[in-house]
């Protein structure tokens, strides 16, 4: 693609003379600008990919993958049997949830009351993983599990009582009053999600139906899949079995969150790409000055028979080499930093005594990072494309030069 002469001219251009020190400075800034732009873009994309994936794992660990609500119809055993036969890789659980209020020590808190069956595999697995105090065996009738944050806010401990009030009303001589009952705290759990630990109370399924004045036919069906990312496909197939029920997935519940993350990721990509584009302007200015300084040499090369195309290619190669090497350096730095980003965070937190990436805001205990090689390839080719455009613009002007004017006074 490039001849030996063109490569030789390009390599000489990359080593400016002492009197051309300004060109050397421009070349260094071009190199550093593109390298840092590529590195920062890779780091930010890796962090955002890691954040999204970690958040997805957290959400999938706390929520069912598909929920089927009766929607005024009866979910009978025949319907459940049809689902378990058609989807053999699905774990099924019966639950009931509703809004309520927790009252204790002159404090009140609005929350979600969720009734579960502790004997079901996924429910038992959840508590084994997240319980911080108490035992699963203690979760019986008239007992509850509460989050550590809720326990802290209401000043409650294992073994104490909590009063729960539901949205169901009971008739009294004084009129309708919210139904409420006292429960013993069988233990506390900590999922790492502040909002979840503050706003969820787990009851036995019979207690939940009782406090909301419901019957077993009002229970919801929760499904857990081996591949949660296929939840929408399963949802479409389940809707065919019986379209009367209200069915939604974990993705439906968190659609706004993931849409916001996607928009933020795309905006950050566009903004940080501007760093590379701005750095590429240094290539344009550097090559333009270089070509002006090399006017006599270019005229001599033309006189010796070198074509305009070859001269143009040699100067194009000069600018493109800076962009190419800077891109490779940026990718190397970006990958190294992304792999060790948690160590850098801990170092900065220790040295400057700053709380970077607080867990109570971002729901995660450490700064996540996941390198996506597809994203790196996109950044690589994007940087090369910008460098190529920036190198071509000044190199193309060589064809407009007049040889006789350059040598007129020599």
The predicted-structure confidence for 189-203, as pLDDT tens digits, reads as follows 988 777 788 888 999
| Residue percentage of the chain with pLDDT more than 70 | 84
Residues 299-330 pLDDT 10s: 777 766 767 777 777 777 788 888 888 899 99
Cα 306 to Cα 294: distance, rounded to the nearest angstrom: 15
pLDDT at 48 over 80: yes
Average pLDDT, rounded, for the chain = 80
Segment 324-377, tens digit of pLDDT: 888 999 999 999 988 888 787 777 777 777 666 665 555 566 777 888 888 889
Model pLDDT, residue 340:
86
The more confidently predicted of residues 403 and 11 is: 11
Per-residue confidence band for 88, with pLDDT thresholds at 50, 70 and 90: confident
- Residue among 81, 36, 95 at smallest CA distance from 276: 36
The secondary structure of residue 223, as a DSSP letter, is E
Pairwise CA distance, residues 195 & 178, whole Å: 25
The vertex-194 CA angle with 189 and 199, nearest 5°, equals 70
pLDDT at position 271, please? 82
Q: Summarize the confidence of residues 248-276 as an average pLDDT.
A: 81
The pLDDT of residue 7 is 66
Residue with tokens 């849409």: 259
Instruction: Show the beta-strand stretches assigned E in 205-356.
Output: 220-224, 246-249
Count H helices, E strands: the chain? 16, 10
Is-contact 323 31, C-beta < 8 A? no
Q: How far apart are CA 298 and CA 76, in angstroms?
A: 87
Judged by average pLDDT, the poorest of 17-21, 38-42, 221-225, 395-399 is 17-21
Q: Which residue has the higher pLDDT, 208 or 175?
A: 208
Number of neighbours of residue 272 by Cβ within 10 angstroms: 18
Higher-pLDDT residue of 360, 288? 288
Q: Are the C-beta atoms of 82 and 68 separated by less than 8 Å?
A: no
Q: 367 to each of 47, 50, 66, 280, how far by Cα in Å? A: 7, 8, 29, 31
User: What is the rounded distance in angstroms from the CA atom of residue 399 to the CA atom of residue 11?
Assistant: 21
CA–CA separation, 232 vs 66, rounded Å? 9
CB 394 within 8 A of CB 319: yes
Residue 150 in this model has a pLDDT that exceeds 80: yes
Phi, psi of 371 (to 5 degrees): -80, 125
| pLDDT surpasses 70 at 121 | yes
CA distance 279 to 31: 8
Euclidean distance between CA atoms 38 and 32, whole angstroms: 10
Q: What is the pLDDT of residue 332?
A: 93
pLDDT in tens, 170-196: 766 666 677 888 899 999 998 877 778
For residue 408, the 8-state DSSP code is: T
pLDDT on residue 28: 78
The pair of structure tokens assigned to 76 is 């009978």
Averaged pLDDT, 384-403: 77
Average pLDDT over residues 389-401: 76
Q: What are phi and psi of 350, to 5 degrees?
A: -75, -45
Domain residue ranges of the chain, discontinuous segments joined by +: 4-57+257-407, 91-224
Q: How many CB atoms lie within 10 A of CB 14?
A: 17
User: Confidence class of residue 145 from pLDDT cuts 50, 70 and 90?
Assistant: very high
Tokens of 291: 């070509």
pLDDT of 257 > 70? The answer is: yes
* % of the chain at pLDDT higher than 90: 5
Cα three-residue angle 391-45-347, rounded to 5 degrees: 110
Closest CA to 200 of 149, 124, 247: 149
């Amino acid at each position: 693609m490039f001849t030996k002469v063109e490569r030789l001219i390009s390599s000489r251009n990359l080593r400016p003379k002492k009197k051309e020190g300004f060109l050397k400075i421009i070349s260094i800034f071009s190199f550093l600008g593109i390298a840092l732009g590529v590195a920062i873009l890779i780091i930010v994309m890796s962090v955002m990919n890691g954040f999204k994936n970690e958040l997805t794992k957290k959400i999938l660990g706390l929520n069912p993958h598909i929920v089927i609500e009766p929607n005024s119809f009866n979910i009978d055993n025949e319907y459940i049997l049809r689902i378990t036969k058609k989807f053999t890789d699905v774990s099924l659980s019966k639950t009931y949830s509703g809004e309520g209020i927790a009252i204790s020590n002159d404090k009140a808190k609005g929350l979600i009351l969720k009734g579960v069956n502790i004997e079901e595999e996924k429910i038992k697995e959840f508590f084994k993983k997240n319980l911080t105090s108490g035992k699963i065996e203690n979760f019986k009738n008239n007992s509850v599990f509460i989050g550590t944050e809720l326990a802290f806010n209401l000043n409650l401990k294992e073994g104490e009582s909590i009063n729960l009030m539901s949205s169901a009303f009971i008739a009294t001589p004084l009129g309708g009053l919210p139904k409420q009952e006292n429960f013993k705290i069988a233990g506390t759990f900590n999922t790492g999600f502040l909002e979840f630990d503050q706003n969820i109370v787990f009851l036995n399924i019979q207690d939940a139906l009782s406090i909301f004045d419901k019957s077993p036919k009002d229970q919801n069906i929760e499904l857990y899949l081996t591949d949660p990312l296929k939840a929408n496909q399963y949802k479409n197939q389940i809707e065919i079995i019986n379209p009367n029920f209200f069915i939604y997935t974990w993705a439906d519940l968190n659609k706004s969150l993931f849409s916001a993350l996607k928009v933020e990721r795309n905006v950050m990509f566009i903004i940080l790409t501007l760093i590379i584009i701005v750095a590429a302007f240094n290539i344009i200015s550097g090559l333009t000055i270089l070509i002006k300084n090399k006017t006599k040499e270019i005229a001599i090369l033309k006189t010796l028979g070198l074509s305009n195309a070859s001269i143009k290619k040699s100067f194009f190669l000069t600018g493109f080499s800076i962009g190419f090497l800077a891109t490779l350096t940026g990718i190397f730095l970006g990958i190294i930093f992304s792999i060790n980003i948690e160590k850098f965070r801990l170092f900065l937190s220790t040295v400057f005594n700053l709380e970077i990436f607080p867990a109570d805001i971002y729901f995660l205990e450490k700064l996540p990072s996941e390198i996506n090689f597809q994203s790196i390839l996109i950044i690589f080719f994007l940087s090369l494309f910008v460098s190529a455009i920036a190198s071509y613009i000044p190199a193309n002007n060589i064809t407009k030069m007049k040889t006789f004017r350059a040598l007129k006074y020599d």
